C-alpha cells in the first residue's frame, strides 16, 4: 500500500536534526584533525630547519678542514725541503762522504788539540802584511776604514814575497813546535794537513842542511823582514792618509746636508 502524507512526514521529520548533528560532528572531527595536523607541520618545519642548520655547520667544518689540510700540505712540503737540506750529507756518494768525514774529523782534532795546549796555526801572508801596517801606524790612529784600505793596498802590493817569506818562516816554526808537542802528548790526534806540511818542511830542511847552506835562509829572512817593514810602513801611511781624507770628505758632506 502507498504510504499516506502523514506517514511520510513522520519519517522525514527527524532528518534535519540528524543532518545538523552529523554536520556538527563532521566539523568537530575536522577541527580535531586540523589541530593534530598543525603541530605535525610545525614539527616537520623544525626538523627541516635543524637539518639545514646542521648541513650549514657541516659545510663550515668541511671548509675549515680543507684550509687546515692545505696548510698542512704547505708545512709538510717546507719540512721536506728542510729535511733534504739537512740530510744532504747522507745523499752523497761514498767518496764524498769519506771526504766530508775526514774534513770534520780534522777540524775536530785541531780544536781538541788546542784545548790540550797545542800551538795555534800561523797566519797567511796577508796577516803579516796587516800586522806590519798596524805597527807602522802612529799611536791613537783611528781604525775606521783602515782595514778596507789595507785590503786595497794588499791587492796593489807588487812585492808580496817578504810577507810570503814571513808566513813560511812562521809555518816552519809552527810545524817544529807542533811536532815536539805531539811527542809530549801521545793521546792527541795528529792533524793531517799539519803532517803533510811538516813532512815538506822536514824534506826542505834536510836538503838545505845537506847542501851546507843553512846560514843563507836566515840572512834572506832578515832581509825579507826589513823589506816587509819598510813596505808596510809606506802602505800604512798611505792608507791612513786616504782614510783621513775620506773622513774629512764625509764630514763636509754631512755639514753641507745640514745647512741645506
Distance of CA 2 to the CA centre of its chain: 121
If phi over 0 gives left and psi between -120 and 50 gives alpha, with beta otherwise, what is residue 191?
A: beta
pLDDT score at 168:
92
Q: How far is CA 122 from CA 27, 74, 167, 168, 169, in A?
A: 118, 49, 7, 9, 10
- In terms of pLDDT, which residue wins out, 29 or 179? 179
Cβ pair 169, 221 in contact under 8 A: yes
Cβ neighbours of residue 119 closer than 8 Å, sequence gap 6 or more: 174, 177, 178, 181
For the chain, give the mean pLDDT: 66
Higher pLDDT among residues 64 and 35, named by residue = 64
pLDDT at 39: 62
Please answer whether residues 166 and 131 qualify as being in contact, where contact means their C-beta atoms are separated by less than 8 angstroms. no
> What cell numbers appear for 33 in the block?
584533525
pTM: 0.38
pLDDT of residue 78: 79
The arithmetic mean of pLDDT across residues 52-69, rounded, is 75
Model confidence pLDDT, tens digit, residues 64-109: 777 877 887 888 877 777 766 665 545 545 454 444 445 555 556 7
The more confident residue out of 118 and 207 is 118
Task: Kindly report which listed range (25-34, 99-108, 208-217) carries the lowest average pLDDT score.
Answer: 208-217
Closest CA to 173 of 204, 132, 201, 131: 201
Q: What is the DSSP secondary structure assignment for residue 91, as one 8-state letter?
A: G
How confident is the model over 146-156, as a mean pLDDT? 82
pLDDT score of 253:
59
Amino acid at each position: 500500500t502507498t504510504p499516506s502524507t502523514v506517514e511520510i512526514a513522520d519519517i522525514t521529520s527527524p532528518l534535519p536534526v540528524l543532518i545538523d548533528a552529523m554536520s556538527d560532528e563532521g566539523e568537530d572531527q575536522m577541527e580535531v584533525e586540523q589541530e593534530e595536523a598543525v603541530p605535525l607541520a610545525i614539527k616537520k618545519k623544525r626538523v627541516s630547519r635543524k637539518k639545514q642548520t646542521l648541513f650549514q655547520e657541516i659545510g663550515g667544518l668541511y671548509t675549515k678542514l680543507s684550509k687546515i689540510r692545505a696548510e698542512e700540505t704547505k708545512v709538510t712540503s717546507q719540512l721536506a725541503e728542510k729535511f733534504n737540506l739537512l740530510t744532504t750529507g747522507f745523499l752523497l756518494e761514498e767518496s764524498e762522504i769519506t771526504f766530508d768525514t775526514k774534513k770534520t774529523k780534522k777540524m775536530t782534532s785541531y780544536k781538541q788539540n788546542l784545548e790540550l795546549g797545542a800551538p795555534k796555526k800561523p797566519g797567511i801572508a796577508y796577516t803579516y802584511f796587516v800586522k806590519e801596517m798596524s805597527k807602522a801606524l802612529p799611536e791613537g790612529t783611528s781604525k775606521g776604514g783602515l782595514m778596507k784600505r789595507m785590503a786595497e793596498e794588499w791587492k796593489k802590493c807588487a812585492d808580496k814575497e817578504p810577507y810570503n817569506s814571513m808566513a813560511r818562516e812562521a809555518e816552519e816554526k809552527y810545524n817544529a813546535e807542533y811536532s815536539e808537542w805531539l811527542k809530549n802528548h801521545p793521546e792527541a790526534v795528529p792533524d793531517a794537513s799539519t803532517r803533510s806540511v811538516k813532512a815538506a818542511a822536514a824534506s826542505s830542511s834536510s836538503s838545505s842542511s845537506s847542501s851546507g847552506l843553512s846560514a843563507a835562509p836566515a840572512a834572506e829572512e832578515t832581509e825579507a823582514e826589513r823589506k816587509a817593514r819598510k813596505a808596510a810602513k809606506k802602505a800604512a801611511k798611505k792608507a791612513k792618509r786616504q782614510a783621513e781624507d775620506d773622513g774629512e770628505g764625509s764630514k763636509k758632506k754631512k755639514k753641507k746636508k745640514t745647512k741645506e
